[in-house]
Structure 1
């Protein structure tokens, strides 16, 4: 069975959702027969490719909040991330265009190192004092993931490299009706949206394996919208 996950590394619920999916998959009886493929989705495709902005400032501007209120929003999401055992910084993070990161992730997929690079990029973006919008940081992460440095540099230097693959993923997301990420598609028959609890993923995998009805997402799951807005479920 194949599971495809549309996500963006700028989306905190994609970071959290991946961790929850991994836990849910670990409880699935046929987990060794599941292929997981990560697909590209840009939350801010029209954003500048340079000069990322601080996340807290972006949130304050987008929602018309004070900086303190924006920090509180970040802390709410951070608590959800930390509950999954993830590192999450609420200050000092950047937000920007992720197209080049997606292109590099497609190179990693072609070399069998996609999930390794994705995990490193997530951790750097949400938990470390390293900006993934810095090409030199991306090169370091690519090498840590097992990619060839020269090849990774060549991809980042050539804006057309793997661009078609990123755009193809985004077209498929639109065709499948993905209005937010993370978006999970099981065998092209069942869909789940949002950073659901692990047990929801386990049930969905079992339903898809058995060929039964559509796996319905639980209410209130966190997700990030195409305009970059990330919902914060209320307690």
Structure 2
């Protein structure tokens, strides 16, 4: 069974949703037969490359006061810590995530996509140093087990893996996804948002039980 997860490294609920899904998957009896594939989704494709403090960005995007934005960020932090995830109290920043998505596709080719995604989430939500810098991205790629020079070459070529990112986003749009995280099980069952682990457990069970079993075709004896 394949589970595809559309997410954005800028999205704290994707960070939280990934942890909740993984808790459900860890207890799923057929977990060894589940393939998890991470897909690209940009919450703001037009965001500038330069990192900016997240509180003013949230206030402007949602029409909130800085105090309301800080309170919203504090609620997200509380949810993250409830899942055992580290989260900065303040000082977080955000920027365009397209290069991160390109690098994740590169990591997928080398079997290190999950490791790089974890490193990016940790850097973006739990560390004071900004993750939105090519030098830092190369460091994170190396931490995830990738070759640093190869990762730097990907970042230096704007079109490297760009089409793969766009294809993921086009697929999400065709499926009607307007936000993330968005989980799709065997392209038949969708779960939207950072749902509780129990919801993911039910979705995994339902998707597993509703799989279409292919009939066995007897082999004809050789002539």
Q: Which runs of 5+ in 2 are unaligned?
A: 212-223
8 Å Cα contact 2:51-2:130 kept in structure 1: no
Q: Shift of the alpha carbon at 1:63?
A: 2.3
Equivalent positions of 1:92-131 (< 5 A) are 92-131=91-130
Paired position in structure 1 for 2:170: 171
CA contact (8 A) 1:71 1:90 kept: no
Q: Paired residue for 2:152?
A: 153
Give the superposition deviation at 1:90: 3.0
Give, in whole Å, the separation in 2 of the partners of 1:130 and 1:103.
21
Residues 3-61 of structure 1 show CA distances to partners (whole Å, capped at 9, x for unaligned) of 00000000000000000000011121101100000000001101122x22100110112
63-72 vs 189-198, which deviates more? 63-72
Deviation >3 Å, runs of 4+: none
Number of residues of Structure 1 aligned to a counterpart in Structure 2: 211
Describe the SS at the equivalent of 1:164. Answer: helix
2:14 aligned partner: 14
Task: Report the counterpart of residue 190 of structure 2 in structure 1.
Answer: 191
Q: Is the 8 A contact 1:53 1:95 kept in 2?
A: yes
Q: TM-score, normalised by structure 2?
A: 0.93
Q: Give 1:68 shift.
A: 2.0
User: What is the RMSD of the two structures over their aligned residues, measured on CA atoms?
Assistant: 0.9
TM-score where L is the length of structure 1: 0.88
Larger radius of gyration: 2
> How far apart, in 2, do the equivalents of 1:82 and 1:143 lie?
27
The residue matched to 2:200 in structure 1 has which SS? helix
- How far is 1:121 from its partner? 0.4
Query: Which residue is equivalent to 1:225?
Result: none
Look up the SS of the partner of 1:19 in the other structure: helix
